Amino acid sequence: MAKEAYVCHDDLFNAEAVRNARAVDDRVRELAPVVKLARENITMIARYEHVSKGLADWKTFSSTSRPWHDPKSVRPEILLTDDPPRHTQVRAVISSALSTQALSKMADAFRRDADALVRGLKEKSGTVIDAVADITQPFVYKVLPDLLGLPLEGREHMYAFGNMVWATMGPPNELYKAAMEDTDGAVLEWANRCCQRENLAPDGLGMQMYLAADRGEITPDEARLLVGILLSAAADTTVMTMANAIRAFCEFPDQYQLIRADRSLVRAAFEESLRWDSPSRMAGRITMRDVEIEGVVIPKGERCGLMFAAANRDPRKWQDPDRFDVKRDNRGHVGWGYGVHSCVGRVLAGLEADALLGAVVEHIERFEAAGPPEPWMTTIGHGPAKLPVRFTAAVN
Ligand code: HEM
């Protein structure tokens, strides 16, 4: 006989839960393989085995709807909201623009920006800085709009726009309202302007979406939505993952010294940061058929959360999961997602990390925490909004 899903009455998305998201998500994973959230009327799956299988099976776990789905929200309804075949066609366009071949020419420019930024910090050696506001955010918020070909004017709205889009992925609670109130019409007006062809640089990544429309590969409307998704999906994920790497450098100084001794470990540190504390708590999906997990049947039409971050720390899969270990074999982690929707921007994020974390490792001898991190108060995104650290500059 089929078993019932474990019913949980907790609120996983209020301010207190968001402040403790790591512990909250780990607890859900340990409650049961299938957890029904009574408040939200959704089902959560958090164990690695089931999350990775679910992400791979898009026919069962469809992206065409999800928990709290509002098709009229500010979130660009494209790619992450589609299944094949429409998804395949649109993804081909963005994926060729973001391929290793297309992006490798950016590596030098990224390195120059990163080097200038981190060198500029060296005079603050010994003082307390905020690793988000002073290191990871200014870097991403420069190189990303430069790459997209956005005008300089209005870039100060990047954070508020990203924060609004992230808020739409979670429940319409007090944090959602704060994200929406955090702004006025100026932010949306700016985001809309950024997505219009006439405002994009002719040689930027944004324009490439419109050139694909000219070739008939997608429609002009899809091109506009793709620029919107680039603007919202690419920024804070990368800011948070690199900030978490710096947090790990404070908490695991032995690992930082390993990377300083062998710079080829920089990319491994970025990947391990993504496994260790993923910047997205879950993917939203809807079931297209009844699906059984360990004797529990999730009915067709159920809105589900596949919990990336909890799966990446599942002790059934990872040994000593809370340890940040740059030499760990972390292949198969789901920080990039998995399957047809797995992150199409990972080459870009990796190049940014090579440049920025590479410059950090070169110019900074060691980090120490200078107070607790302040969490990003959003429901589905996860990471430090402020990360106070003290550092010692390297002599070079
Ligand atoms: C460390 C940084 C990043 C992380 C952790 C990350 C994480 C993810 C994850 C988990 C997914 C899958 C979501 C799902 O299955 O529902 C995803 C998809 C996606 N990401 Fe990223 N991402 C990062 C950087 C980027 C960048 C730099 C870009 C763009 C240049 C980007 C663009 C996208 C897009 C467009 C999708 C949707 C792909 C599809 O549906 O086929 N991401 N990302």
Check whether the bond before 67 is cis (ω within 30° of 0): no
Q: Give the pLDDT score at 274.
A: 98
pLDDT band at 71 (very low <50, low <70, confident <90, very high): confident
* Per-residue pLDDT tens over the stretch 312-344: 999 999 999 999 999 999 999 999 999 999 999
Q: Judge whether 274 and 287 are in contact, CB under 8 Å.
A: no
Across 168-184, average pLDDT: 90
* Per-residue pLDDT tens over the stretch 72-83: 888 888 999 999
The C-alpha atoms of residue 205 and residue 207 are separated, in whole angstroms, by 5
CA of 349 relative to ligand 1 center, distance in Å:
9
Please tell me the residue having the least CA distance from ligand 1 atom 27.
234
CA of 237 relative to ligand 1 center, distance in Å:
8
- Parallel/antiparallel/unpaired status of strands 384-386 and 303-306: unpaired
Q: Give the pLDDT score at 80.
A: 92
Report if pTM > 0.85: yes
E strands within 60-111? 61-62
Q: Is the CB of 349 under 6 A from ligand 1?
A: yes
Number of the ligand 1 atom closest to the C-alpha atom of 285:
16
Percent of the chain with pLDDT over 70: 99
CA of 344 relative to ligand 1 center, distance in Å:
6
Q: Is the CB of 145 under 6 A from ligand 1?
A: no
E strands within the chain? 6-8, 35-37, 42-45, 61-62, 128-130, 283-287, 291-293, 296-298, 303-306, 364-369, 374-375, 384-386, 388-393
E strands within 115-252? 128-130
Ramachandran angles phi, psi of 76, nearest 5°: -60, 120
Structure tokens at 154: 């209005």
The C-alpha atoms of residue 83 and residue 202 are separated, in whole angstroms, by 31
CA of 263 relative to ligand 1 center, distance in Å:
26
Q: Give the pLDDT score at 396.
A: 80
* Per-residue pLDDT tens over the stretch 285-321: 999 999 999 999 999 999 999 999 999 999 999 999 9
Structure tokens at 290: 């009844």
Arch. (CATH architecture) of 6-393: Orthogonal Bundle (1.10)
CA of 368 relative to ligand 1 center, distance in Å:
30
pLDDT band at 181 (very low <50, low <70, confident <90, very high): confident
Q: Is the CB of 348 under 6 A from ligand 1?
A: yes
State yes or no: pLDDT of 184 exceeds 80.
no
Q: Judge whether 312 and 332 are in contact, CB under 8 Å.
A: no
| Sign of CA pseudo-dihedral 340, 84, 59, 278 | positive
The C-alpha atoms of residue 382 and residue 239 are separated, in whole angstroms, by 11
Q: Give the pLDDT score at 74.
A: 87
DSSP 285-311: EEESS-EEETTEEEPTT-EEEE-HHHH
DSSP 169-198: TS-SSHHHHHHHHT--HHHHHHHHHHTSGG
To test the pocket of ligand 1, the residue of 69, 87, 237 to mutate (highest count of ligand atoms within 8 Å of its CB) is 237
**Other CB atoms within 10 Å distance of the CB of residue 203:** 8
**If we measure between CA atoms, which residue out of 134, 128, 19 comes closest to residue 388?**
128
The C-alpha atoms of residue 55 and residue 45 are separated, in whole angstroms, by 11
The C-alpha atoms of residue 38 and residue 6 are separated, in whole angstroms, by 10
Q: Judge whether 232 and 290 are in contact, CB under 8 Å.
A: no
Across 240-245, average pLDDT: 98
CA within 13 Å, CB half, 160: 18
Q: Judge whether 246 and 273 are in contact, CB under 8 Å.
A: no
The C-alpha atoms of residue 166 and residue 289 are separated, in whole angstroms, by 28
User: What dihedral do alpha carbons 241, 75, 281, 180 form, nearest 10°?
Assistant: 90
Q: Is the CB of 76 under 6 A from ligand 1?
A: no
Q: Give the pLDDT score at 53.
A: 98
* Per-residue pLDDT tens over the stretch 95-120: 999 999 999 999 999 999 999 999 99
Q: Is the CB of 171 under 6 A from ligand 1?
A: no
Across 145-155, average pLDDT: 96
Cα–Cα separations (whole angstroms), residue 195 to 74, 150, 217, 228, 231: 13, 9, 18, 6, 9
Q: Is the CB of 173 under 6 A from ligand 1?
A: no
Domain ranges of the chain: 6-393
Across 40-58, average pLDDT: 98
**Coil/strand/helix, residue 391:** strand
Q: Give the pLDDT score at 2.
A: 78
* Per-residue pLDDT tens over the stretch 190-232: 999 999 999 999 999 999 999 999 999 999 999 999 999 999 9
Structure-model confidence comparison of residues 362 and 183, the more confident one: 362
State yes or no: pLDDT of 182 exceeds 80.
no
